[in-house]
Amino acid sequence: MGVSTDGRICFGYCFEDGYEFPWDTVGLDEWWLEVCGFKHSFNLYDATGEYIGGVKPSDEKITAYFKEKMDFQKANPIPIVEVNYCAGECPMYILAVPSSLVFCSRGDPTEIHPEKLTVTEEEKEILQHFCNDYKLKPLGNMKWYLTSYWG
């Protein structure tokens, strides 16, 4: 098992080391589902995370359960992407416009086209509103970043 050393380019807001995001305890994906009000129409699991009544439901019911969540996520995408600009064990984040993220892995050069490194005013506004709505305090203004990741 090797160590990933990725290069990344993105447009967004940089946050200081140790910044506490509202999703830190549950993860961005689960937090966003909660913020958007997602609720399953039925449950498979009890409070301890085991199948209700200790009985595994049918494959069809399990598939329907997870499809319900995937369909909701598709209809309500997270409007930002987290970009770790440090290491897996010491995360430091940029919140970026999803379409702006370009990355490559060690030993795998990725061609970039500078003319495609653009974000729309609408994308900038979405990122700005996201940070304002959730009272996030970045280090400075939105800008382009070239970063590395060791993880």
pLDDT tens digits for range 104-147? 988 888 899 999 999 999 999 999 999 999 999 999 999 999 99
Task: With H, G, I as helix, E, B as strand and everything else as coil, classify residue 93.
Answer: strand
Q: Is 107 found in the same domain as 86?
A: yes
Range of the domain at 60: 39-75
Q: Is 55 found in the same domain as 128?
A: no
Whether 29 is covered by a domain: the verdict is no
Amino acid at 113: H
Q: What's the mean pLDDT when you consider all of the chain?
A: 94
Whether 31 is covered by a domain: the verdict is no
Q: Is 101 found in the same domain as 54?
A: no
Predicted confidence at residue 109, as pLDDT, reads 87
Q: Is 18 found in the same domain as 44?
A: no
Instruction: Give the chain's domain count.
Output: 2
Whether 33 is covered by a domain: the verdict is no
Q: Is 111 found in the same domain as 51?
A: no
Whether 65 is covered by a domain: the verdict is yes
Q: Is 84 found in the same domain as 138?
A: yes
Whether 32 is covered by a domain: the verdict is no
Whether 106 is covered by a domain: the verdict is yes
Whether 34 is covered by a domain: the verdict is no
Q: Is 84 found in the same domain as 12?
A: yes
Cα angle: 68, vertex 74, 80; to 5 degrees: 130
- Tens-digit pLDDT profile for residues 10-23: 999 999 999 999 99
- pLDDT reading at 1 higher than 60: no
Q: Is 13 found in the same domain as 84?
A: yes
Predicted confidence at residue 106, as pLDDT, reads 84
Token digits of residue 33:
């589902």
Indicate if the alpha-carbon torsion angle 123, 110, 14, 133 is positive or negative: positive
Predicted confidence at residue 2, as pLDDT, reads 66
Categorize the per-residue pLDDT at 45 as very low, low, confident or very high, splitting at 50, 70 and 90: very high
Q: Is 84 found in the same domain as 13?
A: yes
Q: Is 123 found in the same domain as 63?
A: no
Contact 11, 146 (CB under 8 A): no
Query: What are the start-end ranges of the E strands in the chain?
Result: 5-14, 81-84, 93-96, 102-104, 143-150
Is this model's pTM higher than 0.85 or not?
A: yes
Helices (H) and strands (E) in the chain, counts: 3, 5
Q: Which residue, 3, 147, 2, 1, is CA-closest to 81? A: 147
Q: Is 128 found in the same domain as 69?
A: no
Q: Is 87 found in the same domain as 67?
A: no
Predicted confidence at residue 57, as pLDDT, reads 93
Q: Which residue, 130, 149, 141, is CA-closest to 23? A: 130
How many residues does this entry show for the chain? 151
Contact 44, 51 (CB under 8 A): yes
